[in-house]
Structure formats: structure tokens, C-alpha cells
Chains A and B, each alone.
Chain A
Amino acid sequence: MNLGALFSSTDMASTLIPETILLFGIIAMIIVPNLGNATFRLPIPGKAWRIPYFVGGKRFSFTSDPRLPSAIAAFTLFASFITALLSQMGEIGVADSCIAMREGVARAGPEWCSGGSVILEVNAFSRLMEMIFTAALLLAVIANWDRLPATPHHRIPLKTQRDEVVENRRLHRLLNNRRQVDFSLLVLMVALGMSTVALSANLFMLFVGLELASMASYVLVAFNKETKVGPEAGVKYFIVGSVASAIGLYGMSMLYIWNGDLSIASLHSAWTTGPNGMAIIGLGMMLVAFGFKVSAVPFHFAAPDAYSGASGPVAGVLSTASKAMGFVALMRVLIGITLVDDGSEWTLLIGVIAAITMTWGNIAALGSHNPKRMLAYSSVAHAGYILAGIAAIGALGPGEGSELIATAIIFHLAVLVTFKLGAFLVITLLECEGRGHELEHYHGLARRDPLIAISMMVFMFALAGVPPLSGFLSKLMMVSGIISSTVGDVSGSSLSDAMGSMSWVFWLAILIFINSAISLFYYLRICVVMFYDDTDRHLRLSRAPMIRIAIMLCTMGAVVLGFGVLADVLASAAHDAAMALFG
């Protein structure tokens, strides 16, 4: 393959601006923290002429600053987010475009979207999902800004303390920003992997992106190594995750043997003519891999351990961006490949998994007293709601109702970033004082810090789906999509006739409602302990301004995206994305 052709085309660059920015961010992250006063001595005898070449030596103060990696990562993610937004709005680059492999050369441009061999496609769906991923990661990076990752007891020393720091070896080690570089580098790699998943129109690219993001996130989970549970969580997450990935890859290879091509369009046309047994087994195996990513029951067992072991921001990313990535992959496969006009075979299976997932998640969350575990199980329950939506799409086949449900799913994945990640950030703030993993640590939070307590209350109510918060709107759209798919074919003049003719999908909607009511028990419990119970600690929470900024952003998002103009904007964007997903 001609490497020159890959980069010579301006179409390529304008198609992939956000990803290019991420790539340059990664390169900058590797180079910049290594810059120092290294010089090269010219080999002239008798002269000591030195030419500085900057890589190595004693590092400059700004390149060894612990805030630098976070700044680079935040800037990169923000630029990536903005360019994705602008290119979707048509301001820069190309709005809808594809990258296809033809004759061994990658070609970019809207004209390559038809004709097969498309590996990446840029459209409303992939851009919106990219924005969701980068927004979630950006919030996590901001929250990590002025505290070392996974070191709950130390804050970054102030500038005025620098001189004393040199004396103090331990603090000196903290000033060394190698760990922050590792962390931020991994975060950017997660972003790149997730963006690839969002763009991919080919199962191979999808798997590459998924693995890039997963591998980086395994390490991120294990990054919390000062605590006892951190490494354990990382190892557990890694082992279970790689087994799931291996199964998924095996399933994918079966699909390849069956079809001879892994592009989603080609697989879809082959599937409509009728899959054989090998293809169905292959699909089932891929569902295992994606089921692990979205933590659907029975593949959810690693999730609570991983979430409670990881540091707050990382757990937040796992439960929002990583889960959204799993759902993108799931939708690519289930909607992109296997959705046929008159309902699909897998519908009932997904429906059953959805019902079990949401119920199990809620019941397990009721019994967990560690708020992180509780949020992990609530995330399992939310996965169940979304799976119910996907099951309804399968029962319905492509059409208006399905588009509405897909809109709801995308909308839900977007607003989840505000309130789910926000809740984890509140936990992060408590982790700054080495607490946050017991329900007692939340006692009397409203007296210690009213603003944070009110934010947490907003997040809890949004998770439970209390109006007028964004969690309500997303759940409402989901359920209304499911109900719309069933009310059309209800017949009969009496109550029992009508109940009898109701599609089973309608009961999924009712089950979602019942589960929201159950979930209120544990969400409300957090509100009650914050406002009602007393605590013996009366210190204010740690100042950590960047975490607070991130929490405030999340709170505002959870409120304004639920009611009013911005909710409308996001819903329209999600609808465009859903239209693009259905093609």
C-alpha cells in the first residue's frame, strides 16, 4: 500500500479532522513532557559548543508540571469535540463522507460511500457519538486536573511550595508528572478507539477501535493502585474483558467465513437473503462481547468490581462513554446487519435479556451500600432499558417507530454523560478526602456543602427519571417509542381482547416503569442521607476547583437538557443521528 496516498489527499484530512487532532494530541503527549535542556556537544576538539536538541536532559519546569498532561489532553479533546460539532454543522470539513479501500488505496470523499469496501463512514450518527465520547472523556480529564490520578491523599503542591518540595523526596516524586502523562495518554487512546468505533462501517475496523479503547481502559481501571481494590479490579476487568473480546472475535471470524467480507453493508445484504447456522452462531458470540461492554446480565459480573475499584472519573467514563461505545457496536451489528423488514429472530432473546438485566440491576443496587457499586448496578439497569429499546426496534423492523426508539437511545446515551458521570464526579470529590465508598460518608453532605449535595440530588433524580430533568425525557422517549410500536395493532372492543392483542413489547415498557419505581428506593436513599442524617465531620469538602467546575457543568446539563430549547436541539440532533443509522 502506498503510504503517500493515505495522507496526500486533502479529502482524507478534511474527513477525519477530529481524529487527526486526537492523533496529534497523542504524539504531543509523548513528546512534550520529555522536553528538557539536552544538548549535543559538537565533536570539535578544544571547543565546548553545544547545540540544544531538547529531548531529554533536565526537564523544563513547564514540561515537568503535573498539570501539563491534563492540559494537553483537555485541549485535544475539546478541539476534537468542537471540530466534530462544527463539521457536523457543515462549517468546516465535510459533513457526510466515507473512506473506502479501493485497489489497495484508502480513498476519502462523499463519492466513495456507494460501491462497497467502505471502512469508515462519517455521518450525523458517528459525529454525535464522537461528541458524546469526547465530552465524557473531557469531563473526566478536567476532574483529574488538580489531583493525581488515584492518589487520594495528596494534592499537587502549589507553586510557592516548589522549593520545599525539592527537599522532600516524596513530594518531589509527586512533582514528577510521569503518571499524569500515562493517564492522559491512555485517556486519549480511549478517545481515539471510541471514535474509530463510532466511524466504522466495517466489523474489522469496529473491532480494532473497540480493542484500542478497551485495552486502554483496562489499564485506566488498574491505575488506582494506591487502594487495595484498584489492581484487583483492573485484573478482573481485564481477564473477563479479554475473554469476551476473544469470543467476539471468534464470532466475527465465523461471519467472515460465511460472507467473505466484513463490511456492514455487505453483511446486511447477505443477511436479508437468509443467514446460515454458522452466521447465527457468529452473531450470538459477538453479542457476548458487546454484552460485556454494555454490562448486560449475565455478562455484568466484572462491572461492579471494576467500577468500585477504579477512581471516580474512570468509573464515570466506564459507565458513560465505554457503555455508549458498546451500544454503538451493538446497534451497528443488530440494526446495521441483522434488522430485516418483518422483525428479526433475535428480538425475543434481546427482550428477555433486557427484562432480566433491568430487574437484576435494580434489585442488586437495592442491596449495595457502596455508592459506587450502587451506581454500577444502576448502570446495569440502564443498560436493560436501552436493550429493551433495541428489542422493540427488532420487533418493529425499520420504520418511524424504530427511528424514534433509536433517537431515544442516542439521546439517552448523550444525557447519561451529564448525570451519570456527574454522580461519579461527586464521588471523586469525596475521594479527595479518602472517603466516598460507604453510604455513611454521604451523611450530612447538605450541611457540609449544599451546592454539591443539591447537584448530587439532581443527578439521583435524573437517574431515577423524575421530571423535569433530562433523565426523565430520555426515559420518556424510550418508553414512548416502545409504546408507539404497539398501540397501532391493538384491537378488540373489550378490555380483555385489547390486553390479549397487545404485543409483548408493550409489557417491556410497563416493566421499565415498574423498574423506575423500584430504582427510586436507592436513589432516594442517597438524597435522604445527604439531607437528613447527621455527621460528625463538619469540615467543608476539599476545594478542588476543577472537579467542582465539572460537576457544575454536569448539573446544568442534566437540567437544561431535560426541558426547553436545548432539549429540543439535542433531540433533533439525536433524530438526525438515528436517521443516519438507519441509512
Chain B
Amino acid sequence: MEITEFITLLGNPLTVLTLLPITGALLLMLVHWLGNDERREMLANPIRYTNLGIALLMFVLATLIGLEEKFGMAWGEYLYQNCEVGAVSTGSCTLISSIGVSWHVGIDALSYPMVWLTTLLIPITMIVEWDAKKGAYFHSLILMMEGALIGVFVSLDLFVFYVFWELTLIPMFFLILMWGGEDRRYAAQKFFIYTFAASVFMLAGILVMYFNNDASWVGNITGKSFDFVLMDTSTNFIATEGLRSVVFLLMLIGFATKMPSVPVHTWLPDAHVQAPTAGSMLLAGVMLKMGAYGFLRLGVTLFPDQVIEFQTLLIVLGMISLVYGAIVCLGQMNLKRMVAYSSVSHMGLIFLGVATLQPLGIAGAIFMMFAHGIISPLLFAVCGSFKHHYHTLEIDSMRGLAHHSPWMSAHMMVGWMGSLGLPLMAGFVAEVAILIAFYMAFGWWVLLPAVTLIVTATYYLWSMQRTIFEGSGEAQLPPTMHGDEPRDITWHENTGMLILGVLAVVYGIYPDFFGMFEMMSDWATLLVENAIFPPEVNP
């Protein structure tokens, strides 16, 4: 296609995808800051539109990449690399040459869905929070977030990966701190410190990997490289089995906290409840996926033997997250808290899917990342507009929502149905794939996760019945309304939710839309064939 060729002329499209939002956001903030008070007022709107424009441009770019390429055909092949592996190992794309850091980006069937999802969600979050009086920096911070997130998904150099991984914290920290709820100060600090502390263990793992990855070029004082592809293709990468286990566990701490899995999940409900709507949408939609993505990319691809060794641990973690998340959901009175805990529950399914070591299970886990990335932002958008229009998040305070806000109730229904795994919705595809793979791997143990899914259905149906339908006709409004007339959601909120809702249904009916499920299952099959159970090499 000509357009992508044109973009390639500008530079590597992935580099553009990563750096354009960050530099754009910084410039826009600078422009706003430099103006005097009158000009700032005047500039606020153009800056908002420019932010949205850049975000939409990102989405077009990412879609073009998807239309152009067919992903997942070969194992270990990364498209749109700025630098081939041979060139990396001789040090021609270095960023910090002396310690072996390169600027190496590439995309494959695992990262493409995440990149596309990010570029899709960013403009939607901006639209959903469009008219709220948030000032000029709000949307710029979201845009900055986009660059950091895409950087995590496309960078193939682990140093750069870690830098972007931590860089996502800074805009989110300020989103929560400046525009969050009552308790935002506590939540923002907890969020930052908790996830930073956990990813520091991941960094320790990365450093051990780094020192087992030789690549000497002139000016490299350590003689090692942070490059992921070099690690993956190296024949004797970390020969000591015990050390591999140590590294795997160190990284598991980082990824499990980000996902989050149960013993280390406590930052999530606080951050979610206090974050502004756009913040929770991005937290649930993409930031949680960073953990799962990192686990699949670094944990499973590089340490397949350790996945087999710690299969039981993964299943236990996954099951506990699934059950605990679901049960805690039952007792929640706060709408956002309930959705947050349902995220914990769903992330447990990802561990289960990976632990089956079946292509279908891993594909289901990846599709769960994708489907949850569409449905949970929808739910948080609904929660946000509920808070916006009814000034409360208490489930009990509200009866007969359908009567006053039909559109909001419709979106809430779609979101909850999708989340509980109603057939013909995106969540169902992922759940069924994981459960089938679980059956193939462990037989009738599948009943354990399957029964838990009933609890999920219970809490959603119960709260749905209470808030939306009960007391129809003579609706009970929350006391926080102070006698105001309830309104339905605004057009821009509706637009964003509609896109998400339609996508949730489309991916439920036809998971291959835009080639998604196919590329995921290709990737999973290739992973199992090549990495987890590699064919015996005949000498």
C-alpha cells in the first residue's frame, strides 16, 4: 500500500507509533504552559482536538499495518523491524552503546493485537471524557500514555522495554493524582509504589538474562546485549536450569503484580476506584495486559521448561484469582470496585489458559486479553458516566436505571453480559477456548473453573437485576441526586461506548474479524511447536 510506504519513508512505522504520541503530548503541554492566561483559555480547545487527531492518526496507522501484513506465519519473525538481528548483534542500532542497549522494535502476532487495541482505546477514552472540565493536560497525558504503552508492546530490547514499562506509571500516576476521586492521593501513591516495587524484581531477572546474552561490539564495555531476539535465538541461553528457575520466578513476581494475580492484586481496586474514567479504562483495558503480554513474551517464550516446571503454581495462582475475584465481587457495594475485582477474576483465566500448554488454551488466553480489553473499558465507561450523572457508585442506592437512562442501561447490559461470558459475545469465545483446552489437558478438573464462572454470572445478574430493572415504573433515585432530574448519557459518552459494545458483539460472533483470532492461534500453535515442545533435533 502506498500509504504505509510513505510512512516508512518517514521512518520505521513502529518508531513513529511509539515516539509521536510522547513527543506530541510533551510539545502540546509545553505550548499550553508557555502561553499567558488568556491564550491558555483560547488554546485549550485546539490542544484537545490536536490530541484526539494524533490519537486517531495512530489508530489509522496501526490499522494500515494490520491490513498490510499477515501476522503469525513464521515463528520468531518480527515485522517492521528497524534493524535486523544480525545488525543488532554487531551494534549498528545502538542507543546506549557502552552497555549494549539498542533501539530495536518489531511486531508479531502477539504484540499486534495489543498495539491495535491500544490505538483503538486511546481515542475512545478521549471521546468518553470529552466535555469534562479537565483542563488541557488531561488528554495530553493520555496521549503520552499511548506512546509508552505501544513502546512496551513493540520494543524488542529489554532495557527499552523496561523503560517504557515504568514510563507508563508516570502519566497514570498524575491522571489518578490530579483527576481522581476522594481518596486519590492514597491510591496514586499506592499504585506507583506497588507496581514499581514489583517490576524491580522483573528488572533483576532481566539483568541476569542480560549477562547471559553475549554480543560484543566496539565500545560495548560489558560485551552483553539487552536484545530479546538475540536471547531467543541463542542456543545456550542460560544453561543452568536452576538459574533459569530463579529468573522465571523473579519475572513472575513483576508480571503477576501487573496482571494482577491474587496475592499481589491489592493495588488494583484502589487505583481503579479512584482513577478518573479514562484512567480506569486504560488501566483495565491495556495496562493489565502489559503483565500478561510480558509473561507470554518473556516468561513463556524464553523459559518454556520453567512453565512446565511451575505449571502447578500457575494453575493455583490462576484458580485462586478466579475464585477469589468472583467471590469478592459478590460482596461489593461499589460498582467500580466490583468491575475491578471481576478483572482480577478474568486475569486468573489467562494463567489457567497458559498453564494448559495447549495451543488452544494459549490462544484463548491471548484472546481473553483482547476481549477483556474491549469489554472492561466499556464497563468502566459506564461506571464513569453513572458517577457523572448520578454522583454515586453505590449499587444499592439505585433502582430502575432503565427507566431514566435507557442508553446507559443498554451499555451496562452489553458490558455485563459480555463480561460474564454470554455466548455470541467476545468474552465467551475466550472462556470456551480456555475451558476446552483445560479439559484436553486435565480432564474433568475443568469443572473447577467452569463452576466459578457461574459465580461470575451470579454477581453480574444480581446487581444488574437490582440496579437496572427492579422497581420499574417508580424508580428509586440515589440520594446524591438531591432531587435533580436524572439524565441519560451524553452523545460523546454514547459514541465511545457504542463502538466498544459493537466490537464486543462483533468479536463474539466472528472472532476472526480483522484476522485477530487466527493470528493469535497461529502464534500459540507456533509457540507450542517451536518453544514449549520443540521437535527432537536429529543430529
A residues in contact (CB < 8 Å) with B: 400, 403-404, 407, 450-451, 461, 466-468, 472-473, 476-477, 479-480, 483-484, 487, 490-499, 501-502, 509-510, 513-514, 516-517, 520-521, 524-525, 528, 531-532, 563-564, 567-568, 571-572, 575
**CB-defined contacts of A528 to chain B, threshold 8 Å:** 177, 185, 188-189
How far in angstroms is the closest Cβ of chain B from A68? 35
Which of the residues A467, A483, A487, A520 comes within 8 Å of B162, measured between beta carbons? A467
Report 8 cross-chain contacts, Cβ distance below 8 Å, ordered by A residue: A400-B223, A403-B221, A404-B221, A473-B96, A491-B240, A492-B242, A567-B96, A571-B221
A interface footprint on B130-174 (CB within 8 Å = 1, 0 otherwise): 000000000000000000000000000001001100110110001
In the complex, the answer to whether A568 meets B243 with C-beta atoms within 8 Å is: no
Report the bound CA distance from A487 to B222 in whole Å. 14
Report the bound CA distance from A467 to B167 in whole Å. 7
Residue of A nearest to B224 (CB): A484
Report the bound CA distance from A495 to B247 in whole Å. 10
**CB-defined contacts of A493 to chain B, threshold 8 Å:** 240-242
A interface footprint on B197-234 (CB within 8 Å = 1, 0 otherwise): 10011011001101110000001011100000000000
Q: 17 more A-B contacts (CB under 8 A) besides A468-B167, A490-B243? A: A400-B223, A404-B222, A461-B170, A476-B159, A477-B99, A480-B211, A490-B246, A493-B240, A493-B242, A495-B242, A498-B241, A498-B242, A501-B242, A517-B197, A521-B189, A563-B95, A571-B99
In the complex, the answer to whether A532 meets B242 with C-beta atoms within 8 Å is: no
Q: A498-B242, A517-B193, A568-B97 are in contact. Are A476 and B203 (CB under 8 A)?
A: yes
In the complex, the answer to whether B188 meets A407 with C-beta atoms within 8 Å is: no
How far in angstroms is the closest Cβ of chain B from A509? 7
Report the bound CA distance from A88 to B188 in whole Å. 47
How far in angstroms is the closest Cβ of chain A from B359? 28
**CB-defined contacts of A480 to chain B, threshold 8 Å:** 99, 207, 210-211, 222
Which of the residues A509, A517, A572 comes within 8 Å of B221, measured between beta carbons? A572
How far in angstroms is the closest Cβ of chain B from A475? 10
**CB-defined contacts of A461 to chain B, threshold 8 Å:** 170
Closest 9 CB pairs of A and B: A498-B242, A517-B197, A492-B242, A467-B163, A571-B98, A495-B245, A493-B241, A513-B200, A575-B221
In the complex, the answer to whether B178 meets A490 with C-beta atoms within 8 Å is: no
Which B residues between 7 and 42 are near A, CB-CB below 8 angstroms? Answer: 33
Report the bound CA distance from A404 to B207 in whole Å. 14
B residues in contact (CB < 8 Å) with A: 33, 94-99, 159, 162-163, 166-167, 169-170, 174, 177-178, 184-185, 188-189, 192-193, 196-197, 200-201, 203-204, 207-208, 210-212, 219, 221-223, 240-243, 245-246, 249
**CB-defined contacts of B223 to chain A, threshold 8 Å:** 400
How far in angstroms is the closest Cβ of chain B from A561? 10
Chain B residues touching A, majority SS: helix
Which of the residues A407, A499, A510, A568 comes within 8 Å of B204, measured between beta carbons? A510
In the complex, the answer to whether B96 meets A568 with C-beta atoms within 8 Å is: yes
**CB-defined contacts of B245 to chain A, threshold 8 Å:** 494-495, 498
In the complex, the answer to whether A487 meets B243 with C-beta atoms within 8 Å is: yes
Report the bound CA distance from A496 to B200 in whole Å. 22
In the complex, the answer to whether B242 meets A491 with C-beta atoms within 8 Å is: yes
In the complex, the answer to whether B177 meets A487 with C-beta atoms within 8 Å is: no
How far in angstroms is the closest Cβ of chain B from A460? 12
How far in angstroms is the closest Cβ of chain B from A351? 18
**CB-defined contacts of A472 to chain B, threshold 8 Å:** 163, 166
How far in angstroms is the closest Cβ of chain A from B169? 8
Residue of B nearest to A517 (CB): B197
In the complex, the answer to whether B185 meets A532 with C-beta atoms within 8 Å is: yes
Residue of A nearest to B97 (CB): A568
Q: A450-B33, A483-B211, A495-B246 are in contact. Are A571 and B96 (CB under 8 A)?
A: yes
In the complex, the answer to whether A494 meets B99 with C-beta atoms within 8 Å is: no
In the complex, the answer to whether A499 meets B211 with C-beta atoms within 8 Å is: no
In the complex, the answer to whether A484 meets B98 with C-beta atoms within 8 Å is: no
How far in angstroms is the closest Cβ of chain A from B36? 13
Report the bound CA distance from A521 to B194 in whole Å. 10
Report the bound CA distance from A477 to B99 in whole Å. 8
Q: A521-B193, A531-B177 are in contact. Are A498 and B243 (CB under 8 A)?
A: yes
Report the bound CA distance from A450 to B135 in whole Å. 15
**CB-defined contacts of B162 to chain A, threshold 8 Å:** 467
**CB-defined contacts of A468 to chain B, threshold 8 Å:** 163, 167
**CB-defined contacts of B249 to chain A, threshold 8 Å:** 495
**CB-defined contacts of B208 to chain A, threshold 8 Å:** 483, 487
In the complex, the answer to whether B192 meets A513 with C-beta atoms within 8 Å is: no
Which of the residues A490, A497, A520, A575 comes within 8 Å of B196, measured between beta carbons? A520
Among B167, B188, B242, max chain A CB count under 10 A is at B242
Residue of B nearest to A501 (CB): B242
**CB-defined contacts of B99 to chain A, threshold 8 Å:** 477, 480, 571
Report the bound CA distance from A571 to B167 in whole Å. 22
Q: A497-B242, A532-B185 are in contact. Are A563 and B163 (CB under 8 A)?
A: yes
Report the bound CA distance from A467 to B200 in whole Å. 11
Report the bound CA distance from A113 to B246 in whole Å. 47
How far in angstroms is the closest Cβ of chain B from A202? 29
How far in angstroms is the closest Cβ of chain A from B281? 22
**CB-defined contacts of A532 to chain B, threshold 8 Å:** 177-178, 184-185
**CB-defined contacts of B222 to chain A, threshold 8 Å:** 400, 404, 480, 484
Q: A404-B221, A571-B221 are in contact. Are A520 and B166 (CB under 8 A)?
A: no
Residue of A nearest to B244 (CB): A498
In the complex, the answer to whether A513 meets B211 with C-beta atoms within 8 Å is: no
In the complex, the answer to whether A513 meets B201 with C-beta atoms within 8 Å is: yes
Report the bound CA distance from A480 to B162 in whole Å. 14
**CB-defined contacts of A487 to chain B, threshold 8 Å:** 208, 211-212, 243
Residue of B nearest to A495 (CB): B245
Report the bound CA distance from A514 to B95 in whole Å. 28
Among B163, B185, B188, max chain A CB count under 10 A is at B163
How far in angstroms is the closest Cβ of chain A from B182? 13
Report the bound CA distance from A567 to B201 in whole Å. 24
Report the bound CA distance from A177 to B177 in whole Å. 47
Report the bound CA distance from A451 to B34 in whole Å. 10
Q: A407-B221, A466-B196 are in contact. Are A564 and B240 (CB under 8 A)?
A: no
In the complex, the answer to whether A517 meets B196 with C-beta atoms within 8 Å is: yes
**CB-defined contacts of A497 to chain B, threshold 8 Å:** 242
How far in angstroms is the closest Cβ of chain B from A115? 31
Which of the residues B96, B159, B242 comes within 8 Å of A490, measured between beta carbons? B242
**CB-defined contacts of B185 to chain A, threshold 8 Å:** 528, 532
Q: A484-B211, A495-B249, A531-B177 are in contact. Are A572 and B241 (CB under 8 A)?
A: no
Report the bound CA distance from A101 to B37 in whole Å. 68
How far in angstroms is the closest Cβ of chain A from B258? 15
How far in angstroms is the closest Cβ of chain A from B171? 13
Residue of A nearest to B306 (CB): A495
Q: A467-B162, A480-B211, A572-B98 are in contact. Are A524 and B193 (CB under 8 A)?
A: yes
**CB-defined contacts of B210 to chain A, threshold 8 Å:** 480
Residue of B nearest to A468 (CB): B163
Report the bound CA distance from A567 to B96 in whole Å. 7
Residue of A nearest to B219 (CB): A572
How far in angstroms is the closest Cβ of chain A from B8? 23
Which of the residues B94, B193, B242 comes within 8 Å of A520, measured between beta carbons? B193
Report the bound CA distance from A468 to B165 in whole Å. 10
